[in-house]
Amino acid sequence: MTTADLWIALPLILLAVGALLTLLIGAVTRDDTAATAIGVAVTLGAACWLLQTPPLPVAPSLGLSAAGLPRLFSCFFLLLAAGVLCLSSGYNRARGIGGEEYPATVLFATFGMLALASATTLLTLFLGLEAMSFGFYILVAVDLKRATSGETGLKYLLPGALSTAFLAFGIALIYCVSGTLAIHEAVQLTLTSGRPDPIALAGWGCLLAGIAFKLSLAPAHLWTPDVYQGAPAPVVAFLSGGSKGAAILLLLLLLPHAVDASHLRIPLWGVALLSMLVGNLAALLQNRVRRLLAYSSIAQMGYVAVALVSGKGGGYQAAAFYALAYGVISLAAFGAIAVLERQGCGETLDDYRGLGQSKPFASGVLTLALFSLAGIPPTVGFTGKFLIFTSAIRSGEIALAVIGVLLAAISVYYYLKVVITLYSKHTGTADASHPTYPEYSVLILASTAMVLLGLWPDALISLLSHLLP
């Protein structure tokens, strides 16, 4: 192991050490404030480290990459994890979710995301994804006092395990055809121009099916509403922003290397259409806010799939942009929900009635996030959708763009439904509970990012255009 390796692996090492440290802290004190503080410090420290190191393509012996795209996403995952940890401490205390294992698991999951991001071989990719998923299997079921928690955990674990099997098998088939695990060559050899090997195509099919589970793309979306409803709100923010971001990143690490990705066009096209349809239409019928957002997330991933279909016509950049945007929006939306739930708000739409007056801050953030999901300018959601539709039209996917736009218009109805409920006539009594300072800071940062990236996306877009074809 050389110094260069160490430099690149340092964020991973930091995370692992931090996770172990939080576990050890538990032996000394049962107060999880210290554990959370260590978690936040470690994630922010690792993010700072990543920001200041120059981009290096590959670490010689570890097979870890520190190129631009992995670094960008790693930073994003780390900041997201820090935000989630900040939100969790108050929420967990109110819910009675205790212990140092929570921050430790968040750090382990983040470790997985970073490993995935910096992978240069299919094996590391798979291991990273698995490490991340393992963390989430625990996190979604961490609220042991809730009766539905076990059900939620199982509903995430079983499809998750199945998707892992698909992924592993897909990678095996791709390896079988290409004879290499290195991402670049494996993709190039299996997605060639001309007639591809049927076994390779089967491998890619399995891989896509596995990823579809992670991204909750229809028809592999069935776990989403239950998990979004049952898991603790900060975990949902992490799952929605981080895990899906990682799954999109996985595709972005693979697909751009393809000589000819058109063999995957038809399955992606179908999945995109189906996800937009199922997500948007099913969300219309929901009267629980989290379920509504779960279906909305299925629809949003459909838009990402539209970008992936568009591919090299700016589609990969749009997908990356939207992955980051959706992460920020998820953090804001579920962060706001976490704050509201911590203060005693229920989960049905009726429980949200009049919160705009009694809890103006969290409701304001949630409203902004909902407008962003709906793609209303000047939020990042609008810019993301704009990029996606531009890439779709540029690659000639006009039918998909028109359907997507019309469904986006429909989607506005259910987002507005929540907003209206928030700002309808207030019936209950106003209570004086305020968000805590960590909650304030996370939500303010996420809101600022939503607006700033909406108004001045230039830096991010040009960065992505250097990193992706």
Partner 1 sequence: MNQFPFLTLLLFLPLAGAFLLLTMTGREKLARSTALTIAVAETVLACSAWFCQGNSSARGYFLFEDRPWIETLGIRYTVGMDGITLLLVTLTALVTVIAMLVSWRSITERVALHFLLILAMESGIMGVFLSLDLFLFYLFWELMLIPMFFLISIWGHDRNIYSAVKFFLYTLVGSLLMLLAIIGVYLIHGEQSGIYSFGLAALTGTRFSPATGLLLYGAFLLAFAVKFPLVPLHTWLPDAHTDAPTAGSVILAGLLLKTGAYGLIRFGYPLFPEAARTLSPLLIGLAVAGIIYASWIAFAQKDMKRLVAYSSIGHMGFVALGIAVWTPVALSGALLQMVNHGLTTTALFALVGMLDERAHTRQIEDYGGLWGKIPLFSAFFVLFAMASAGLPGLNNFVGEFLILTGSFKSAHLATALAFIGVILPLVYTVRLVQEVIFQEERRPLPMADISSRELFILAFLALADLYIGLHPAPLLEILKAPVALLTGGVP
Q: Which residues bind partner 1 (CB under 8 A)?
A: 357, 360, 371, 376-378, 382, 386, 389-390, 393-394, 401-402, 405-406, 408-409, 412-413, 416-417, 420, 423-424, 456-458, 461-462, 465
Angle 3-28/32-52 helices, nearest 10 degrees? 170
Using an 8 Å Cβ cutoff, are 78 and 44 in contact?
yes
Q: For the CB of residue 399, give the shortest distance to partner 1 in the complex, in Å.
A: 11
Tell me whether residue 427 or residue 458 sits nearer to partner 1 (CB atom).
Answer: 458
Tell me whether residue 3 or residue 427 sits nearer to partner 1 (CB atom).
Answer: 427
Q: For the CB of residue 68, give the shortest distance to partner 1 in the complex, in Å.
A: 16
Q: For the CB of residue 252, give the shortest distance to partner 1 in the complex, in Å.
A: 18
Q: For the CB of residue 404, give the shortest distance to partner 1 in the complex, in Å.
A: 9
Q: For the CB of residue 119, give the shortest distance to partner 1 in the complex, in Å.
A: 28
Using an 8 Å Cβ cutoff, are 42 and 18 in contact?
yes
Q: For the CB of residue 193, give the shortest distance to partner 1 in the complex, in Å.
A: 24
Q: For the CB of residue 405, give the shortest distance to partner 1 in the complex, in Å.
A: 5
Tell me whether residue 148 or residue 465 sits nearer to partner 1 (CB atom).
Answer: 465
Q: For the CB of residue 389, give the shortest distance to partner 1 in the complex, in Å.
A: 6
Tell me whether residue 46 or residue 460 sits nearer to partner 1 (CB atom).
Answer: 460
Q: For the CB of residue 335, give the shortest distance to partner 1 in the complex, in Å.
A: 20
Tell me whether residue 16 or residue 412 sits nearer to partner 1 (CB atom).
Answer: 412
Tell me whether residue 199 or residue 402 sits nearer to partner 1 (CB atom).
Answer: 402
Burial class (CB in 10 A: 0-12, 13-18, 19+), 176: middle
Tell me whether residue 196 or residue 314 sits nearer to partner 1 (CB atom).
Answer: 314
Tell me whether residue 19 or residue 401 sits nearer to partner 1 (CB atom).
Answer: 401
H, E, C per residue of the chain: CCHHHHHHHHHHHHHHHHHHHHHHHHHHCCCHHHHHHHHHHHHHHHHHHHHHCCCEEECCCCCEEECHHHHHHHHHHHHHHHHHHHHHHHHHHHHCCCCCHHHHHHHHHHHHHHHHHCECEHHHHHHHHHHHHHHHHHHHCCCCCCCCHHHHHHHHHHHHHHHHHHHHHHHHHHHHHHCCCEHHHHHHHHCCCCCCCHHHHHHHHHHHHHHHHHHCCCCCCCHHHHHHHHCCHHHHHHHHHHHHHHHHHHHHHHHHHCCCHHHHHHHHHHHHHHHHHHHHHHHHCCCEHHHHHHHHHHHHHHHHHHHHHHCCCCHHHHHHHHHHHHHHHHHHHHHHHHHHHHCCCCCEHHHHCCHHHHCHHHHHHHHHHHHHHHCCCCCHHHHHHHHHHHHHHHCCCHHHHHHHHHHHHHHHHHHHHHHHHHCCCCCCCCCCCCCCHHHHHHHHHHHHHHHHHHHCCHHHHHHHHHHCC
Task: Name residue, tokens 């299925």.
Answer: 298
Tell me whether residue 123 or residue 455 sits nearer to partner 1 (CB atom).
Answer: 455
Assigned token pair, 311? 């591919």
Q: For the CB of residue 466, give the shortest distance to partner 1 in the complex, in Å.
A: 10
What is the spatial distance between Cα 23 and Cα 226, in angstroms, rounded to a whole number? 29
What is the spatial distance between Cα 392 and Cα 396, in angstroms, rounded to a whole number? 6
Q: For the CB of residue 185, give the shortest distance to partner 1 in the complex, in Å.
A: 31
Q: For the CB of residue 410, give the shortest distance to partner 1 in the complex, in Å.
A: 8
What is the spatial distance between Cα 359 and Cα 32, in angstroms, rounded to a whole number? 27
What is the spatial distance between Cα 354 and Cα 289, in angstroms, rounded to a whole number? 14
Tell me whether residue 145 or residue 458 sits nearer to partner 1 (CB atom).
Answer: 458
Tell me whether residue 36 or residue 296 sits nearer to partner 1 (CB atom).
Answer: 296
Tell me whether residue 129 or residue 306 sits nearer to partner 1 (CB atom).
Answer: 306
